[in-house]
Amino acid sequence: MVKTNNPLRRMVYAGMFGALTAIGSLIVIPMQPVPMTLQTLFTSLAGILLGGVTGAMSQIVYVLLGVIGLPVFAGGKAGLGTLMGPTGGYLIGFIVGAYIIGKIVESRKKPGLAWFGFSLVVGNLVIYTLGVAQLSLVAHLSLTKALLVGVVPFLLGDLIKLVTAALIARKLSKTIKIGKDPEDYDQGL
């Protein structure tokens, strides 16, 4: 985790990863009712690299940009209706998932590839859980049907994104400090 007591730097990092998540939403493989995007790659990296609080802040920035009307949600969608619609649970899941990923990574002084992988799996399970719950409620689908349309088609793609995020984190962990450190330090990405 890139630790800093500098609030401006934290806001810049949060804004940067919010923007990266928005860019990831533009790379779409259309599927119904939930499209496949690169959003979870950047959500995962935000949690690992920024830690729980700043990682979650980056996803709050992303969601707020979409809610106020910027076309940053998957497929260029925007507005509060998207957040309240069938895929809104995934958007809320990005915030909670980034927080949990970051907190798990922060719990180790020097996390390795396996710990990154573990944190990413747990974070993705949270995203899936919140996404499927809202998909089921809003689209009036049974839990089984919601899992079949909201999780199963994405498992292989998400596995690839999680492995990619873990490998990027491992590579970056050689140049920046990631994990729990008793001393505050201030490094750039």
Q: With bands split at pLDDT 50, 70 and 90, how would you rate the model's confidence at 3?
A: low
Contact 103, 57 (CB under 8 A): no
The owner of tokens 């709050």 is: 60
Contact 17, 1 (CB under 8 A): no
The CATH number, out of the four listed (3.90.1150.200, 2.40.10.120, 1.10.1760.20, 2.40.50.140), of the domain defined by the range 7-173: 1.10.1760.20
Q: Give the domain ranges of the chain.
A: 7-173
What percent of the chain clears pLDDT 70, i.e. is strictly above it? 91
Mean pLDDT for 125-151 is: 97
Contact 111, 173 (CB under 8 A): yes
Note the pTM of the prediction, 2 decimals: 0.90
Contact 162, 127 (CB under 8 A): no
pLDDT in tens, 18-33: 999 999 999 888 777 6
pLDDT in tens, 60-97: 999 999 999 999 998 899 999 999 999 999 999 999 99
